[in-house]
Chain A
């Protein structure tokens, strides 16, 4: 067996496979299917300072090799998370990472400060790229100034590993990546969903309740891979790649492109056991090609 361990800005992962926020609940939804300790980490559902009801139904539309969603960050707020959810997940033997979102830099910072107090949460993933909320979310992630302002505010309030999740709905993702790096991010993860739309031709109406939604699934993988490659070649901080990864081959492509770790999202819906299969597949690839450690293949593709 090859050495699958990776280190993301001080965060030790048993392997480079994490599960993406919004696709894996709080991890507990999947523990009937897999041993969660076999994952590098779990990024739990987006959490905000105040509770959010999210967007009305319908929130989902199936597409060719993917899906659109406009869930809109439904969650019961950081207080509920700390009091009710955290006790249920704190003993899960993997890195439990909280995805944090907000309406303003102050919101983000306060939410992050609350999570900073939780011993068993070693990192947060800052969501400056949700396309499904009116205020905040992607609004911060699409300009260098906006992204920088949120990351600076959170950096002051948060002492542990700070991952910033980037939006693909921008002209230059590397500019945003460099801005958040300069503002104090320890790592970046990309990509969040691509903004899309579906129309019901019989009703002659847009399918999703708010009209647009975020596209995910295998259909976005080439776009994600290109962006990960570009960002990995531009920044110093570690890059976590995601976007349509459905099997070990997809994951290895992202590692070769320069990602130090990867996240699996929508593929969890098709196969709840896919994440551990991907970790196993990466190991088999490394063995087959004589690599001793997964770190040897990170960024190996010129």
Chain B
């Protein structure tokens, strides 16, 4: 897929949670390119003396009619924190679309479970929307530390069934996503996961036990995002491969987990 460097223009800035930012941006120069769920953008961080590189942020939502792309960002370090300075009208320089996204269903009969933890839910909204367009209703299993970290649930509920776990039990079932009762009740054809590494490893382990195909989205530290610098490698069964180019989404069978 062709990649672009675009000067996007921020159209809306929301804070769906204390540590979360939802940025909507349009491309004033023309229509946004075709993008796939699970792919990401390299966002430029301007005027921050403490950071240097771009930040890889997954595509949260793409609206081709409105010519808008949305990013759901968690405040992690100084790079992501500086995105909080963006206001409607601000320029957001982005390289996109990057990487290889999630495998999509090939027929309406397939049952896909989309599992997200924390801000890892971000790419799953775009995936759910794309599935629905194909006539496949997604099932979400979303986990967070507590109720205040469960963000944008309504947007997910508008697309399909949403199951929730929180570590403190303040919403949904108490515990981790891997402990949710839906996993005992239902069988899925595919599990797509994005979240903290221990969570993804636990889901991968579950998927192996029940013999379900499972894909996870890795977030190794990156420099270029284009497969040129070889900094973000994951040690896979095929050797060291760039997460930015061969991933960020990997079939767990290819990983050494």
Residues of A with Cβ closer than 8 Å to B? 22-25, 29-30, 32-33, 45, 53-54, 56-60, 62-67, 69, 71, 74, 217, 266, 268-273
Contacts and interface: CB of A to CB of B under 8 A. Distances in A.
B199 interface: no
B232 interface: yes
Contacts of B50: 64
B233 A64 contact: no
Interface stretch (B20-28, B106-114, B153-161, B223-231): B223-231
A54 B226 contact: no
B231 A60 contact: yes
Contacts of B54: 269-270
Contact of B52 (A23, A64, A69, A272): A64
B254 interface: no
A270 B53 contact: yes
Contacts of A24: 228
B240 to A, nearest CB: 6
B230 to A, nearest CB: 5
Contact of A53 (B3, B231, B240): B240
Given A64-B50, A270-B53, A59 B230 contact: yes
B227 A29 contact: yes
Given A30-B228, A59-B231, 20 more contacts: A23-B224, A29-B224, A32-B2, A32-B3, A33-B5, A54-B240, A57-B220, A57-B234, A57-B235, A60-B232, A62-B53, A64-B50, A64-B52, A67-B223, A74-B230, A217-B52, A269-B223, A269-B228, A270-B44, A272-B95
Contacts of A60: 221-223, 229, 231-232
A98 to B, nearest CB: 15
A interface SS class = loop
B88 interface: no
Contacts of B52: 62-67, 217, 270
Contacts of A58: 220-221
A54 B230 contact: yes
B53 A67 contact: yes
B239 interface: yes
B49 A25 contact: no
Contact of A71 (B4, B44, B231, B234): B231
Interface string B92-124: 000100000000000000000000000000000
Nearest to A56: B235
9 contacts: A29-B228, A33-B3, A58-B220, A60-B223, A65-B52, A69-B223, A71-B229, A71-B231, A272-B95
B235 A25 contact: no
B51 interface: yes
Interface in B201-256: 220-235, 239-240
Contacts of B3: 32-33
Max count, chain A CB within 10 A of own CB: residue among B225, B228, B232: B228
A79 to B, nearest CB: 16
Contact of B231 (A69, A270, A272): A69
Contacts of A23: 224, 228-229
Contacts of A74: 230, 233, 240
Contacts of A268: 224, 228
B230 A269 contact: no
Contacts of B224: 23, 29, 268-269
Nearest to B226: A29
